[in-house]
Amino acid sequence: MKQVKIAIDGPAASGKTTAGLLLARRLGFIFFDTGIMYRVITWAALDRGIEVLNEKEVSNLAREIEIEIKAPSKSDGRVNDVIVSGKDITLEIRNPQVNQNVSQVSTYFGVRESLTRKQRSIADTGSIVMAGRDIGTVVLPNADFKFFLDATLKVRAERRKREIQADISMDEIIKSVLRRDEIDSNRAIAPLKPAKDAIIINTDDKTLEEVVEKMASIVLSGKTN
């Protein structure tokens, strides 16, 4: 039976991870959020005392580190278990320090090269929904279906505030999301942009269920436009 590959890209807090997870569950596919890997490298660099701005050392770390991504073992909001050297770091990669540095780490050529290779290997394990920022353009350019989820800055900031559930002002969150957008869209390597053949879905005025239903209907119909 043919393996089906679905790419879902989009900026921070556009809903791609949650929608992708639900789509995968509906279709009985594997789900993988590639952003997890960049968070792992960032966490590992901080944990080991490696200067995040040291591109060479961080890239070497990305080449050497063994990352295990497993099905979620707990019902605490995780979409996967993330294991490094036998340690479950699933929640630790979401801490504020990782949030502040992951965009920088994701700009490094050596990091992206190593992780793209790992991501393609994961995609070959079965039918998959893969979410990220360069899936349709770089990681899986021949994906069977490509979606790009988007939303206004205001809506995405409101979603991020609900997600982090911390005492942070909306102005700070907007600045953080905007900074992430600027880094993701302007980096020299694999910048965030829709694939030429991606189906763009604005999620501003859509419920999560409506977004998932739209993608599912397209996949099940076998038509990309």
The pLDDT, as a whole number, for residue 28 is 95
The pLDDT value recorded for residue 87 is 95
| Total of domains in the chain | 2
Distance CA 123, CA 121 (A): 5
Tell me which residue range forms the domain holding 196. Answer: 1-29+126-217
Q: Is residue 101 part of a domain?
A: no
Residue 65 lies in a domain: yes
- Shared-domain flag, residues 197 and 116: no
127-141 burial, b if ≥16 CB within 10 A, otherwise e? bbbbbbbbbbbbbbe
Are 42 and 149 part of one and the same domain? no
Cα–Cα dist 123/30, whole Å: 9
Low-confidence ranges of the chain (pLDDT < 50): none
H or E stretch covering 46: helix 35-47
Q: What is the pLDDT of residue 165?
A: 67
pTM exceeds 0.95, yes or no: no
The stretches of 48-169 forming alpha helices (DSSP H) are: 55-64, 96-105, 109-123, 153-164
Whether 223 maps to a domain, the answer reads: no
**Are residues 191 and 154 part of one domain?**
yes
Based on the domain organization, do 115 and 136 belong to the same domain? no
Residue 209's pLDDT is 96
**Pair 70, 47 in one domain:** yes
Task: Give the pLDDT confidence of 124-166 residue by residue, as tens digits.
Answer: 999 999 999 999 999 999 999 999 999 999 999 998 888 776 6
What's the pLDDT score for residue 180? 87
CA neighbor of 8 nearest in space, from 221, 166, 203:
203
**CATH number for the domain that contains residue 80:** 3.40.50.300
Do 79 and 6 lie in a common domain? no
Query: CB of 170 within 8 A of CB of 118?
Result: no
Are residue 164 and residue 174 in the same domain, yes or no?
Answer: yes
